[in-house]
Structure 1
């Protein structure tokens, strides 16, 4: 991937239009989780240090092209200023006189947040006219919102074609990590794909079997693969109508030289409740009322051995119902082992997706992985091999 970084830009006195992801959780008009604000700090600080005027573009929620007061970005100003340790200005619109006047009043090093770009219908329509109106207040464009890069919107795609475009620090880290995981990885490469349904990850599985050396499938989706091979999965979650699809993926993996690691033993219970009585079952001993809720100890041991034999790991989705102990064991122990290998430098471990991040947080190892992407949809589409418009616009 060839994209320009801020190290290649002349920043002094430049008006830098920076697309960030400030679509943060809020309650009663207050930010309840500042993770995404913190993610933008390295880019903002680099621009300030370089003498740029930092003008932040972002969306919040889905106002559908209308001005919805409850979807204003104004509540972000105070927590962002606190994190920066510097004042943050606010303009009541992202284009027009309000934005123009606020930008003209800026000095190098100042930070300004513009109002929700989705107040304009042209944002989600990727309208080139809105992009030109946004560009009127900038000399260069910086995209630091990988999590919004799978959408071809005016502030993520069209604007990058109007002004000189650069990747922000968070975007750069994300793209470099993803390239290290699948684009140009150290081999052997192991993938872990879990979650409840095969139907939501067909594109992902079909892409990965052509890129990985080994692919471990866990969670509810593994039941569909087991059933497709004639194994009785009892009362487990299973998409029986996708048996042919599962068999086709198994055949494609064999053809491409990707070893599929399906469960060889499982943990079952009749109910999904914390502390419920559970049993380890061999695949030929699953009862009619049994529900498969986690990978068994033999499956876990084989996965850990596969990690030890790999140079790169890419992970999306839990191996069991990790939210309900004791069915978190395979996910948590796998996460601990991957984190230990990553910390020692023996494994490049990249993970992403909402449930995956939550599972790694439960295991307490998020900080020990090589990289953990919080960009749910964009991370998944990248793993599916799809072109992300916001990234493509930076690599022209």
Structure 2
């Protein structure tokens, strides 16, 4: 896809509407979060070079972003904490606008000078964002002169800030967006073989379509996490009290379990509760008891997965192998992370939990590319047309 780039835009003296992906995770708390509650700022850090580039080229960054899925204005999903973290990462004050549209915001943006950086409040506080409302898009467009999209994780959504704005302003894909597309295109179009995909996470419902599309493309498909538990149950095994998407059991029966490419857990780590002090046991996949739950892949599976990843020349990983937040259930995920990092393969990792794990283990420097996208990344790899990228294409 031929996209306009930031180098093709004149930024000197321009107010630059920068769509960033600041949908960051927070520690679980029972109060309004603060900056200190941000559990991973990878997505914020990823946008910093582009913000600095805009400033260096004489532009004034006006940043648009969302957090979570609010129903109207929810203080717990305000971008105030993000503004604080961004200020520290940039080493300068970030002006925070208490809304993203309206007279006061328009006046604020009109008075900006070179060197200023503004972060607008959560654009999803307005239903016009997700509805791709033309009037809402026009109000956003009135704040700036040009538009740059760096939110790869949102290009699969036809929202106002993703598809509405580039229809109204001179626009371009940012450097991070271009790197995402280049890395994922290399993975999709011309991967060195063997190509291994490692898929985990909680819900099979969000990934079954991708798994079916991946199967003809990959040489090996390694499955773990709770999504594998649903697949195991669909094959007729007892999974005890393990989480499974009951509504998906009939749907996943169309998946080719018997393909030699598919590698399911042969053994798992079980416990009677999700607790750091719970007693754990290793069980063969056909030996799980009624009062037990699966929380991780077992040692035999870890050994098999490590060998397959080690023999790969391209590896793609999305989603943890178990409940990695609890140390006694983290070994499977950590083993996969280390295998991917230590392999000589071209490696691409994506998805919120997955990037958190890589950074927690200080393995990020050993991964060729860490994507900021989750669903968008999977849709791109499956060859789907993404509204946000189509909106950025040269006309």
* Per-residue CA distance 1:48-82 (angstroms, 9 max, x = gap): 1111222222345556566x777665665554334
Distance 2:75 2:327 in 1: 42
TM-score with structure 2 setting the length? 0.82
Contact 2:154 2:376 in 1 (8 A): yes
The equivalences for 1:68-87 within 5 A come to: 73=79, 76-87=82-93
Residues 128 and 305 from structure 1, CA distance in 2 versus in 1: closer, same or farther, beyond 3 angstroms?
A: same
Cα distance in structure 2, aligned partners of 1:339 and 1:279: 28
- CA 1:8–1:265: 2 relative to 1, 3 Å: same
| Mean Cα deviation higher: 369-378 or 202-211 | 369-378
Query: Per-residue displacement from partner, 1:114-147 (whole Å, max 9, x unpaired)?
Result: 4443454432221223323332343321011223
The answer on whether the counterparts of 2:208 and 2:252 sit within 8 Å (CA) in structure 1 is: no
From the superposition, tell whether residues 235 and 16 of structure 1 become closer, same or farther in structure 2 (CA, over 3 Å).
Answer: closer
8 Å contact from structure 2 (residues 34, 80) kept in 1: no
Residue 255 of structure 2 aligns to a residue whose secondary structure is helix
Counterpart CA distance in 2 for 1:263 and 1:184 is 29
CA contact (8 A) 1:25 1:31 kept: no
Cα distance between partner residues in 2 of 1:48 and 1:186: 39
Query: What SS class does the counterpart of residue 309 from structure 2 fall into?
Result: helix
Is residue 2:179 matched to residue 1:179? Answer: no
Change (3 A) 1:283 1:60: closer
**Structure 2 spans left out of the alignment, 5+ residues:** none
- In structure 2, do the counterparts of structure 1 residues 247 and 347 end up closer, same or farther at CA, with 3 Å as the change threshold? same
Hey, what does 1:192 align to over in structure 2? 198
Provide the C-alpha distance between the structure 1 equivalents of 2:24 and 2:204, rounded to a whole number of angstroms: 29
Match of 1:168 among 165, 174, 195: 174
Find the counterpart in structure 1 of residue 55 from structure 2: 48
Give the CA deviation at 1:45.
0.6
Correspondent of 2:320 among 308, 318, 321:
318
**Alignment partner, residue 127 of structure 1:** 133
Q: Specify the SS of the correspondent of 2:193.
A: coil
- Of 288-297 and 44-53, more deviation after overlay is shown by 288-297
The answer (yes or no) to whether the contact 2:152–2:372 under 8 Å persists in 1 is no
Task: Describe the SS at the equivalent of 1:326.
Answer: helix
Alignment of 1:36-115 (within 5 A): 36-60=43-67, 64=71, 73=79, 76-91=82-97, 93-95=99-101, 97-115=103-121
Q: Give 1:353 deviation, angstroms.
A: 2.3
Contact 2:132–2:159 under 8 Å retained in 1: yes
Corresponding position: 1:299 with 2:307? no
Q: TM-score, normalised by structure 1?
A: 0.82
Report whether the alignment pairs 1:372 with 2:370. Answer: yes
Distance in 2 of aligned mates of 1:236 and 1:308: 30
Q: How far is the alpha carbon of 1:319 from its aligned partner?
A: 1.9
- The aligned length equals 387
CA separation of 1:31 and 1:290: change in aligned 2, threshold 3 A: closer
Measured on the aligned residues, the alpha-carbon RMSD in Å equals 3.4
Q: 1:31: which partner in 2?
A: 35
* 2:322 is aligned with 1:336: no
- In the TM superposition, residue 23 of structure 1 has moved relative to its aligned partner by 4.5
Structure 1 106/212 Cα, relative in aligned 2: closer, same or farther at 3 Å? Answer: same
Instruction: Give the direction of change, closer, same or farther, for the CA distance of 1:317–1:24 in structure 2 (3 Å limit).
Output: closer
Determine if contact 1:58/1:116 at 8 Å carries over to the other structure.
Answer: yes
Cα offsets for 1:319-374 (capped at 9, x unmatched): 23333343322221121121122xxxx21222222333344345443443223334
**TM-superposed deviation, 1:206:** 1.9
* Partner Cα distance (2:373, 2:231) in 1: 28
Deviation by residue 1:198-230 (Cα, 9 ceiling, x = unmatched): 334222222222322210111233344344445
Unaligned runs of 5+ in 1: none
Alignment check: 8 A CA contact 1:205 1:384 kept: no
2-structure distance, mates of 1:94, 1:14: 18
Residues 32 and 76, structure 2, Cα contact 8 Å, conserved in 1: no
Between Structure 1 and Structure 2, whose CA radius of gyration is higher? 1
